[in-house]
Amino acid sequence: MDHEFTARDVVRLKTGGPDMIIESIGPQRHGFTNGAWCIWEVGDQKKRDFFEFVALCHAETKPMDK
C-alpha cells in the first residue's frame, strides 16, 4: 500500500483548512491518480471532493508553515 490513510480517517489539507472525513479511497473519477474522496461541512452544506494523498495529513497533524 502506498499511503497511510483508510476510509473514515479524519484528515485535512497539509496547508490547513477544515477537518474532513475520508469517504473512500480510490482513483479519481476520470483519471488515474489514486487518492481519497473526502467529505466536510461548510455551514449547513456538505462538500465532497477528491484529494491526492500527497496533499493530505491526519487532522491531529499541524498544518505546514507557509
pLDDT reported for residue 60: 87
pLDDT reported for residue 27: 75
Q: In sequence order, which ranges of 1-66 are alpha helices (DSSP H)?
A: none
pTM: 0.81
pLDDT reported for residue 26: 82
pLDDT tens digits for range 7-63: 999 999 999 899 999 999 987 766 667 899 999 999 999 999 999 999 999 998 766
pLDDT reported for residue 34: 82
Measured distance CA(36)–CA(58) in Å, rounded: 12
- The single residue listed with the C-alpha cell 475520508 is 22
